Amino acid sequence: MTSILHHYFFFILIASIGVVQIAASYVGISKLAFFKRPLWGYLFGLAAIAAAYLWFFICHDLHVRHINLEGKEQLGGFALGVGAGVFISNIVSSLIHHKGSAPAEAGEGGLETLKETTYLKVMVANARALPQLLSKLPELWRGLRK
């Protein structure tokens, strides 16, 4: 991985955290947003995106040819950056809203769930239900083979 690819990854990571915060504030997904007031979410998101762009495009000499940077590497950096940004947003918002959220039930899914409970609570509830689901797999497999 080249140096420019590391910088690109962090540029996408910070910008995607900003985008997630703007989207969560706009849609009203309160347990995914870092702030209770949507205006603060918008401002934080815009500041994160602006800071990422300024840091990446002003602080780096992008006119220098980067010999070993290929499209597949850039796509990988983008995908990892967005994935890490969404993951970090989920973890940080879960830590911020840990005490004020409803308990989660196994099987709940979708972004609508994050209006009442946090990502970590949903993941813990689903992890607790996993042994019960796995115990049903042989029965389901036999039903599929008929």
Give the dihedral of Cα atoms 126, 128, 132, 138; nearest 10 deg: 70
Q: How far apart are CA 30 and CA 41, in angstroms?
A: 10
Number of structural domains the chain divides into: 1
1 pLDDT tier (thresholds 50, 70, 90): very low
- Parent domain of 12: 3-145
AA identity, residue 140 = L
Token digits of residue 118: 């946090």
Token digits of residue 73: 């590497």
The residue that leads in pLDDT, 34 or 102, is: 34
The residue that leads in pLDDT, 2 or 143, is: 143
Q: What is the pLDDT of residue 130?
A: 79
Question: By the 8 A CB rule, do 34 and 93 touch?
Answer: yes
Q: Which residues contact 51 (CB under 8 A, 6 or more apart)?
A: 14
Question: By the 8 A CB rule, do 115 and 30 touch?
Answer: yes
